[in-house]
Every structure is written in structure tokens, then in C-alpha cells.
Structure 1
């Protein structure tokens, strides 16, 4: 039986993201104002055709699957990579003094988009922060690090968009923010999970030290119209 985390985009679009979903029972994508993710219902040819119709005329659609489905007709792959999907076992204690962490929202949207564009933590558009739970650290009034939540589905909440300005790396900000968002997900009775590129050994080690474990390897495929 397929686990909800094996097809995280489809699982989110049919549950926690259902109010943001565009499409029909054959294929769905998230509202393009907040994201770039899409998924077909299954491997049927008609589902692939329906997904192809959801690829924007200008721009990308991201597919995230443990076992990739056939590509939709009329598209080409512009990027693909292997990610690790990590699920929290137990949040380990941290004795370090945390920085001042503040909630982020619409008023911070432009700064958040700029930071995400600079650091490329994953697909992020101008209103991705509206997916919820974003927090950040400021230094001298400037947003230098942030993290938030993205996919939501029964029993699970995803930590995402963890990023730090290059000038402020090496100070543990990403770790503090990840712990903050993880604790907020736990407080709602959900199991935190996250994705990061398998090649990012430093990030994987950081998350393992916090109590996350690798559950599966996930394929990320970015497609555009031909």
C-alpha cells in the first residue's frame, strides 16, 4: 500500500492543500500564486494528459515522487535531482541560546522572496509564505534567515524553505529555525518531515543530529512546456 509520504504532492493536494488545488480527479497542481507543484492521480495515460494541461505556458511545474510516473506529453525536463525525505523520530535537546525568532507574514513577503531567490532552498514564489508557519531572524533590521511550513496532510507537516543569507552562515541560525518550526508542528500533534537534496551532506547531517531519519529517496523533476 502506498504511504502518503511516497506521493507527497498528491497527498497534500487532496487533503491539506485541497483548498489551493487546481485541476480535477485526474491531475492537480497548487495555486500558482503560492507554489509550483503538481501531480497526476496515477500512471494512466489520461492522467498524464490532464497533468500536461496544468503546466503553465511560461514557467515550471515541479513533480515530487518516490517512484516517478510517466512524463506528461508535450513537456521537457529542465531539472531533476534526488532528495532525501526525512521524518522526525524525536527532537533532540539543544542547550544553545536561541536567537530572537519572529513570525513572518505578508509585510515581510518581498524580503522573504529575495532571500529565497538568493539562496534557492527549493521552489519558492512570491506568496509561498502564505502556506503558513514562517519565522525568521533579523540582524540590523535585515532578514538574514528563515524557515517555514509547506506540505500538509493527515498526520504530517513539512518543514521547508530553510535558508540563511551567505553572510550569516555558520552561526547555527538554520538549526534554530528548523527546531522552532519542528516544535510548532509537534505541538499540533503532527509528525514533522522535510526534504533536502541528497547531495547536501551538511544539511542531512544537521537534520540527523536534530532527530530526523531518512525515510526514503525522492525524485524531484522540473518540467516545462516544449
Structure 2
């Protein structure tokens, strides 16, 4: 399947492909299992079968989905209705950064990673999210102060995600350097980095454009819940 086709329904292509082992669901709807990022995908992203998703979600549980608009069917709430940019790497190979003191994140770091994500809100994140790919963090005095990692994967596409820095440590370029280290590793493996950024996060969007990403499309992103 061509890269553009994979991008058009990236959540489903990840959940029914390389990440099927982390997912639960059926032939119409799938989601990451409990403990991972609460993201759902549908075989037809623009006409999601929420009846097929319902048995996979607890009432009131917030689940992220993308690429569809319009009213939700009976029994569902749309708690957040927003737009994001889906961006694909179009730059040169980042240089090696031997001065970057980055540590691979392991289950022992899960509590700190969840706390940092809850503080900075880089997107849906669970204690097992770092199991989806490579995650790296920067620590000071045993404290996780910045991290970045990989989430959805389909074909050669590999998402950069969970990018965040504690407010007390911003302005040092830590998150950017972690991203560039991940991008370099992905390119060396023959993969194509991509990411999502909220449309209203103008500073991050401009940074990613300067780094070498390009806009692929604007996509709907929603947080929904069963009533």
C-alpha cells in the first residue's frame, strides 16, 4: 500500500497492522488496549462504526479518533472536536548528537513519563505507551525533564510522538534534540517519520516546519466517550 494511502487512515492501518498485537477489536473498529494511548481506528475512517467500537470502551472513557466529522450517533458524546496537522518528514538526515544525554525509557520510568505527559499534554498517553516504539528521556538528578518517542507505525511510516519538556526546563532544545535523534534512527532504518500537531499550537507547528517536516493534510481529531 502506498504511503499516502496509509496516511489517510493511519490509525486503522497501525492497529490492524504492525500494532495489532497491542490492540483489541474487530473487522470494523479497533483500539489500543488498556494501558496504551486510548486511540481508536475504523476500517472506514470517514464513516466510523461506533457500534462496533462500543464494546471496546467503558462508559465515560475518553477515546481519541481522527479523520471524521459530523454528528455522533446516539449513545456517544463528542467531548473535544478539533483539527490537527498531519506532517511528514521531508528534510535531510539530522546529524549525530553525541552530546545528547538521553536514556531509553523502560517500564521503571512509566510513572514519571505519565506524570510529565499529564503536566505538558503532548497527546493521549498511557503507562504502556513507551512499549509501542523507542522512547528516550533526559533526566536531571533522577527527574525526567524531557522525552520523545514513537507511536503509530504502518508500512515504512513511523510516528514521532510524546514530545514534551517540563516547564522548568524549556528553552534548552531538549525535545527538539530528542526528536532529531529519533528521526535519524528512523531514517537509518529506512523509515519515514511523521507526526501530528494541533492546529492551534502554532509555535510547535512552525518548529516542525523548520526542522524538515511538511504538512501532509489537516485532519479532524476528536475525543469521544460512551454515555
State TM-score, norm by structure 2: 0.91
| Number of the residue aligned with 1:216 | 217
Gaps of 5+ in 1: none
Cα deviation, 1:33-81, whole Å, max 9, x if unaligned, reads 212011222279893311233232242111022x447635411011121
Are the structure 2 counterparts of residues 93 and 189 from structure 1 closer, same or farther at C-alpha, using a change threshold of 3 Å?
closer
Q: CA deviation at 1:106?
A: 0.7
CA distance in 2, matches of 1:31, 1:204: 29
Gap change, CA 1:141 and 1:48, over 3 Å in 2: closer
Q: Which residue matches 2:11? A: 9
Match of 1:21 in 2: 23
Q: Structure 1 97/154 Cα, relative in aligned 2: closer, same or farther at 3 Å? A: closer
Q: Quick one: distance in 1 between partners of 2:77 and 2:21?
A: 28
Residues 86 and 216 in structure 1, CA contact (< 8 A), matched pair in contact too: yes
The match for 2:102 is 101
Residue number in structure 1 paired with 2:193: 192
Q: Deviations over 1:119-156 (max 9, x none)?
A: 11000112111112000111122110000000011110
Residues 86 and 9 (structure 1 numbering): CA distance in 2 closer, same or farther, change over 3 Å? same
Q: In structure 2, how many angstroms separate the alpha carbons of the residues matched to 1:26 and 1:149?
A: 25
Any unmatched runs of 5+ in structure 2? none
Pairing 1:49-128 to 2, within 5 Å after superposition:
49-65=51-67, 67-68=68-69, 71-91=72-92, 93=94, 98-128=99-129
The CA RMSD measured in Å over matched residues stands at 2.3
Aligned residue-pair number:
225
CA contact (8 A) 1:52 1:73 kept: no
State the shift of 1:97 in Å.
Answer: 7.5
Measured in 1, the distance between the counterparts of 2:47 and 2:162 equals 33
CA offset at residue 32 of structure 1? Answer: 1.7
Taking the aligned partners of 1:43 and 1:213, their CA distance within structure 2 comes to: 23
Q: What residue is the counterpart of 2:39 in the other structure? A: 37
Q: Per the alignment, in what secondary structure is the counterpart of residue 192 of structure 1?
A: strand
For 2:13 and 2:97, the matched residues in 1 are separated by 36
